[in-house]
Amino acid sequence: MKDSKVSRKETVGKVLVYIKKYWFYLAVSIVAASVTVALTLYLPVLIGAAVDLIVGKGQVDFEGIFALIKKMTVVILITALSQWLMNICNNKLTYNIVRDVRNEAFKKIEILPLKYIDSHPYGEIVSRVIADADQFADGLLMGFTQFFTGVITIIGTLGFMLSVNVGITGVVVLITPLSFLVAGFIAKKTFTMFKLQSETRGEQTAFIDEMIGNSKVVRAFSHEDEALETFDEINDRLKDASLKAIFFSSITNPATRFVNNLVYAGVAITGAILAIRGGISVGRLTCFLSYANQYTKPFNEISGVVTELQNALACAARIFELIEEEARTPEPDNAYVLKDVDGSVELRNVCFSYVPDKKLIQNFNLAVKPGQRIAIVGPTGCGKTTVINLLMRFYDVDSGAICVSGHDIREVTRESLRKSYGMVLQETWLKTGTIRENIVMGKPDATNEEIIAAAKASHAHSFIKRLPDGYDTMITEDGENLSQGQKQLLCITRVMLCLPPMLILDEATSSIDTRTEVKIQNAFAAMMKGRTSFIVAHRLSTIKEADVILVMKDGNIVEQGDHESLLAKGGFYADLYNSQFARV
C-alpha cells in the first residue's frame, strides 16, 4: 500500500506539471466555480426571504415577492453563464493536457530503443496511448468539473449556515467527518485495483492486436479455439479486476448518502425544535434545509470523483511509465553529419548480445572496401540480421566499433547514417496512403518521371498501371490489398528512387516469382555498381557474384571468401550450398 501511495503522489505531481502550463484556464475555472457556488448559495436566502413575506392568508407582500423574483432571475442567469464558462475552461484544460501527454508519449515511442519495442506487445503500447489517455481525460474532466465546485460549495455553504444559525451548523460539522473517512478509505483501495484493471486491459488489447494482425496464420492452423480460450482467460481476469475496482468505488455513493441523510435529519430535527421555540423563522429554516441539502450533495459528487480520479491516476501512471522510459542513447552535441560517403565500412572487435547472459556476436571483425558486394550467409539464428541491425544502428554494439567512411557511427547523426543506406527487407512495410506516397518516403521531392523510372527499374510499373488509379491508388495499412510480391516490389522501388551510396538487401526477393526475380537481380546488379552492398540470403544461388561471402555460425565468421574459393575449401559453406541442390 505504501508503494501505491507514493506512486499516486508522484503521479499527481506529474499531472500538476502539465496543469501549470494552462494556469489561466484553471484560474478562470476556479473563479467561475466560485461565482457559480456563491450565487447558488445566495438563491436559498432569497427563497427564504420570499417565504417569510407569506405570513398568512391575506397577508402576502406581493410587491416584495416580485422584487425578489427579479433578483432570483438575475442570479440564475449569471449562475448559468458562470457554469458555462467553467465547463468551457475545464474542457480546454483537460483536453490540452491529454493532447500534450499523448504527444509526449508518441514522441517517446519515436526515440525509444528498438529493444523496448521488440520486448513489448504493440497492442499494450497502443492501449497506453489511446485507452489509458481516454480514461485519464474522463477522470480529469470530472475532477475539474465537480471536485472544485464541490469543495467550494462545502466551504461556502458552511459560511452561509454559520451566518444563519451557529448551533445547527455545529450539528452539521460534527457529522461531516464520517464522509471524509469513507472517501479516504475508498481512495486507498481503488488506486491499485484500477491500475491492475488498466494493465489487464492493455494485455487484452495486445492479444486482440496480435490475433487480428495474424488472422490468416490463426485460421490456417485452426488455432481459433486456443485463441478463444486465451482471450477468455484474459477477459476473466479483466472482469475480476474490474469488479473489484467497481465494487469498492460503488460503495462510495450509498455510504456518503447515508452520512448525508444523517446530516439532513440532524438539521431538520434541531431546526424544528428551534422553530417551535421561536429561535428561528420558518423561512430561515427552509433556507437552512436547502443549505443542508446543498452541503451534503457535493460529498456524493466528490466521493464519486475520488474513485474516478483513482482510475484516471492509475491510467496516467501507465502513460508516464512509457514517457519516462529510458530513450535511446542520445547523439553527441557535436555529432558529425555524414557527407560524400565513400562506402567503406569497418567492424572492429564488435561484441553484441540481445540478452546479457546469452552471447551472440563476439569479436566480429570486417573491413569492407568502397563498392564491394558483401554477402552474409549462414543458418537461422547465426546473427545475419543482427549485423544489419548494428550497421543501421537500430541497436548499439556492447563493445568494439563500427565505422563508416572512417567515422564511428556512434559519433554521427542517426539520420545521416540511415540516409546513407538503402534498405529492402524480407518484411515489407507500407503505410496507409497512395502508391506514390509510399514510394517517395525517402525522397519526398521526387518528380513524377523519377518515380516512374524507379518503378520501371524494379518491374513494379506494369502492375501499378493496372491498379484502379495507378500511382494514386490508395492502399490500406501494410498494403493488405496487394500481394506479398507486389508489396516487396514497391519497397524495392522506394530504394531505387533514392539510390544511396550503400545498400542492404535482406532476402529482398523472397516473395517474388522466379522469372521476376531474375529481372530484379539484373536491376540490382546495375544499381549495386559502385555501391557498397550487404546482401543477406538463404538462397545461395543469388549471391554467386558477391565479392566477399561471409559465412556465419553462432555469431562468428567461420569462413570468408568468394563463391568459388569457398566451394573449393569443401567446408561449411560448401555443405550449405550443396544441401540446397542435393537430390532427395
pLDDT digits (tens, 9 = 90+) for 379-396: 777 778 888 888 888 888
Percent of the chain with pLDDT over 90: 1
Instruction: Write out the CATH class of domain 95-323.
Output: mainly alpha
Q: What's the whole-number mean pLDDT along residues 295-304?
A: 66
DSSP letter at 483 equals -
**Residue-wise pLDDT tens digits, 427-478:** 777 888 888 988 888 788 888 999 999 888 888 888 889 888 889 888 876 6
Q: How confident is residue 1, by pLDDT bands cut at 50, 70 and 90?
A: very low
Alpha-carbon separation of residue 374 from 99, 216, 505 (angstroms): 47, 35, 10
pLDDT of residue 77: 92
pLDDT of residue 36: 84
**Cell numbers at 37, concatenated:** 457556488
Question: Which residue in 239, 157, 168, 230 sits closest to 201, CA to CA?
Answer: 239
**Residue-wise pLDDT tens digits, 505-527:** 887 666 667 776 776 777 777 77
Mean pLDDT of the chain: 79
How many C-beta atoms lie closer than 10 Å to residue 529's C-beta? 10
Residues 480 and 214: their CA atoms lie apart, in Å, by 12
**Residue-wise pLDDT tens digits, 64-121:** 778 888 888 888 899 899 889 988 888 888 888 888 888 888 888 888 887 887 777 7
Residue that wins the pLDDT comparison between 508 and 373? 373
Would you tell me which CATH number, out of the four given (3.40.50.300, 2.30.30.40, 3.20.20.140, 3.40.50.720), belongs to the domain 345-581? 3.40.50.300
**Residue-wise pLDDT tens digits, 18-31:** 888 888 888 888 88
Residue that wins the pLDDT comparison between 31 and 311? 31
pLDDT at 135 over 50: yes
Residues 49 and 282: their CA atoms lie apart, in Å, by 10
Percent of the chain with pLDDT over 70: 83
Least confident stretch, 182-196, 202-216, 364-378, 555-569: 182-196
**Domain residue spans of the chain:** 95-323, 345-581
Specify the 3-state DSSP secondary structure of 420.
coil
pLDDT at 583 over 50: no
Residues 6+ positions from 411 with CB-CB distance below 8 Å: 332, 335, 336
Residues 13 and 147: their CA atoms lie apart, in Å, by 17
Contacts 24+ apart (CB under 8 A), 70-77: 71/46, 72/43, 72/46, 72/47, 75/39, 75/42, 75/43, 75/46, 76/43
DSSP letter at 330 equals P
Q: How confident is residue 3, by pLDDT bands cut at 50, 70 and 90?
A: very low
**Residue-wise pLDDT tens digits, 153-177:** 777 777 777 776 677 677 667 766 6
> 224-276 and 166-175 are packed helices; what angle lies between their axes, rounded to 10 degrees?
150
